[in-house]
Amino acid sequence: MPQEIEASGADRIVALVLSVLREETGARPRVTVTWAQTATGVIAAAGGARATISGPESMKLTHRLRALHDAILVGIQTVLADDPQLSVRLVEGSQPQPVVLDSRLRFPRTARLLARADRKPWIFYRAADPSDEQELEKRGARLFRTRASAPGLDLAEVLRVLAAQGIRSLMVEGGAKVLRAFIAQGLACQAVVTVSQSRMEGVPGPGIPALLSSVQESLGPDAVLWGRVAAI
């Protein structure tokens, strides 16, 4: 008799995320908002310094989730604070397209995102010096000029442009301002939040949005919450 293999907590979260991504959608990409926070909702050390919040099991889950999405998006403050690669490294899987919101093209020429050989970043911006545009394009970045709409770039337009580029699913990974904006504008379909037991003073996260349904799993020392975000 074939042995039944019990799904792990991480497998269950992956299955839930995938089921939402597979739902029939309109023209817009499906958006998953995801972050790691302490029990009190802190997502970065004081002053924005990089801090490891989640344990190895939830880090691995984050990479599995990245591989499920066509693109992964962060705000420029996260690039400046963390210099992330936004790649899938801890598991086998396809590499999502890195996307950055950066109204004034503050994107550093030395960013690790520009050093990636496989996928160069797509940067959404509003206005910049032509020499800055040329510098970034020379390094392989693709620039999308976008109109603004408080609190920053017009997210509906960003999503429209991404859809036109063939992006059907988007993982928004931070930081707090960008996550808050996607949630406040009703653009997120689902949330995956890693809640660690670590204690730290620092930058408050976006806060867990109203959820229509949710599941919580233990992953090593962390709890991982998945939820379908209530439409606004």
Ligand X SMILES: NC(=O)c1ccc[n+]([C@@H]2O[C@H](COP(=O)([O-])OP(=O)(O)OC[C@H]3O[C@@H](n4cnc5c(N)ncnc54)[C@H](OP(=O)(O)O)[C@@H]3O)[C@@H](O)[C@H]2O)c1
Number of residues that bind ligand X (CB under 6 A): 31
Q: Do the Cβ atoms of 95 and 87 come closer than 8 Å?
A: yes
Nearer Cβ to ligand X, position 114 or 200? 200
According to CB under 6 A, which one of 44, 72, 141, 171 is a site residue for ligand X? 44
Q: Answer yes or no whether residue 43 interacts with ligand X by CB under 6 A.
A: yes
Query: x/- binding map, residues 106-135, to ligand X, per CB under 6 A?
Result: x-----------------------------
Nearer Cβ to ligand X, position 7 or 207? 207
Site for ligand X in 22-41 (CB under 6 A): 35-36
What lies within 8 Å, CB to CB, of 160 at 6+ separation is 27, 28
Query: x/- binding map, residues 191-210, to ligand X, per CB under 6 A?
Result: ------------x-------
Chain position carrying tokens 């302490």? 38
Q: Answer yes or no whether residue 74 interacts with ligand X by CB under 6 A.
A: yes
Stretch that binds ligand X, among 10-18, 20-28, 103-111, 211-219 (CB under 6 A): 103-111
List the beta strands (DSSP E) in the chain.
30-38, 42-45, 71-75, 97-101, 122-125, 142-145, 148-149, 152-153, 169-174, 190-196, 202-204, 211-219, 222-229
Nearer Cβ to ligand X, position 7 or 161? 161
Site for ligand X in 134-173 (CB under 6 A): 151-153, 155, 173
Q: Do the Cβ atoms of 115 and 136 come closer than 8 Å?
A: no
Residue 75 tokens, joined: 């705000």
SS3 label, residue 110? coil
Cα distance between residue 126 and residue 143, in whole Å = 10
Chain position carrying tokens 């039944």? 4
Nearer Cβ to ligand X, position 11 or 154? 154
Stretch that binds ligand X, among 3-11, 13-21, 111-119, 176-184 (CB under 6 A): 176-184
Q: Which of 219, 200, 166, 228 is nearest to 57 (CA)?
A: 219
Nearer Cβ to ligand X, position 21 or 101? 101
- The conformational region for residue 188 under phi > 0 = left, psi -120 to 50 = alpha, else beta, is beta
- Site residues (CB under 6 A) for ligand X? 35-36, 43-44, 48, 50, 53, 74-78, 81-82, 101-104, 106, 151-153, 155, 173-178, 181, 203
